[in-house]
Amino acid sequence: MKENDIYDCSPVEVRSNMILFCSEIPKEIVSEGVLLSMDPNEKTDEIALGHEFVKVVIRKAIQPVYFLMRPRRGVSTVREAVGKSVAWEYLNVMEK
């Protein structure tokens, strides 16, 4: 990753591989996944994403015991979310 990549605001494509960060500071990588949707009307467990979240499928748990900001039924940690779609805060995702 180049130094200026942090400031790159080019559009992200659905199905892009993503790095998912924690919501706390300092930012740490929590998991890796694939972007499924940026549509604010898309739902996870009957709750619309809104403009602050995107829908991702978790592919790899880097910090498996990290609790999801928006847990799903039966899924509250990154470990439990592997292979499932979840809402992740838009500000905490970056294209891989």
Residue 75 and residue 10: Cα distance in Å, rounded? 32
pLDDT, tens digit, for every residue of 61-91? Answer: 999 999 999 999 999 999 999 999 999 999 9
CA dihedral 23, 28, 30, 34 (to 10 degrees): 80
- The backbone torsions φ and ψ at residue 92, rounded to the nearest 5 degrees and listed phi first, read -115, 25
Contact 56, 89 (CB under 8 A): no
Q: What is the mean pLDDT of residues 36-50?
A: 94
pLDDT band at 16 (very low <50, low <70, confident <90, very high): confident
* pTM > 0.85: yes or no: no
Amino acid code (one letter) for 51: H
